């Protein structure tokens, strides 16, 4: 198993934007050209957390957004179901689970609703 590295969280990542970003949303020159600028008030409210999906979720509250990329493809169906159940409970009503385009939820039960490919939403109560 490859050890998890926190470096992608600390580094800037490239993004695919569905629509052209407004010029005021783009930041900087040289190495910063094309990077999206996140409003500092919003950035202050973001909490990054790492978690071993094979372990029970800690009591961390609920999340509005969970990003899961290139992990479940390595799990068998029962393990995928356990992980999906745990993540579903950790997503706030109206919150989202975004998975990689290579992931498949085929054969899994969930209360999350497919919004678009790779994007699922937990219904509001």
Q: CA-to-CA distance for 94 and 125, rounded, in angstroms?
A: 8
Mean pLDDT (the chain) is 78
Q: What sign does the dihedral 52-56-62-65 (CA atoms) show?
A: positive
Question: Percent of the chain, pLDDT > 90?
Answer: 34
What is the full DSSP assignment across the chain? -PPP-SHHHHS------SSPPPGGGEE-SGGGTTEEPPPHHHHTT-------TTSPPPS---EEEEEE-S-GGGS-HHHHHHHHHHHHHHEEEEEEEEE-TT---TT---S-EEEETTEEEPPP-
- pTM beyond 0.85: no
Q: Provide the pLDDT for residue 2.
A: 42
Is pLDDT above 70 for 5?
no
All structural domains of the chain: 7-121 (3.40.50.150)
- 13-57: pLDDT as tens digits: 554 545 565 666 556 656 666 666 677 888 888 877 777 888 887
Q: Provide the pLDDT for residue 1.
A: 41
């Amino acid at each position: 198993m490859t050890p998890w590295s926190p470096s992608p969280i600390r580094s800037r990542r490239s993004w695919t934007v569905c629509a052209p970003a407004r010029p005021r949303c783009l930041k900087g020159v040289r190495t910063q050209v094309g990077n999206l600028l996140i409003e500092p008030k919003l950035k202050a409210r973001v909490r990054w957390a790492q978690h071993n999906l094979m372990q029970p979720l800690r009591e961390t509250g609920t999340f509005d957004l969970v990003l899961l990329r290139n992990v479940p493809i390595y799990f068998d169906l029962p393990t995928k179901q356990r992980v999906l159940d745990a993540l579903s409970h950790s997503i706030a009503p109206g919150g989202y689970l975004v998975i990689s385009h290579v992931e498949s939820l085929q054969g899994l039960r969930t209360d999350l609703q497919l919004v678009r490919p790779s994007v699922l939403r937990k219904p509001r109560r």
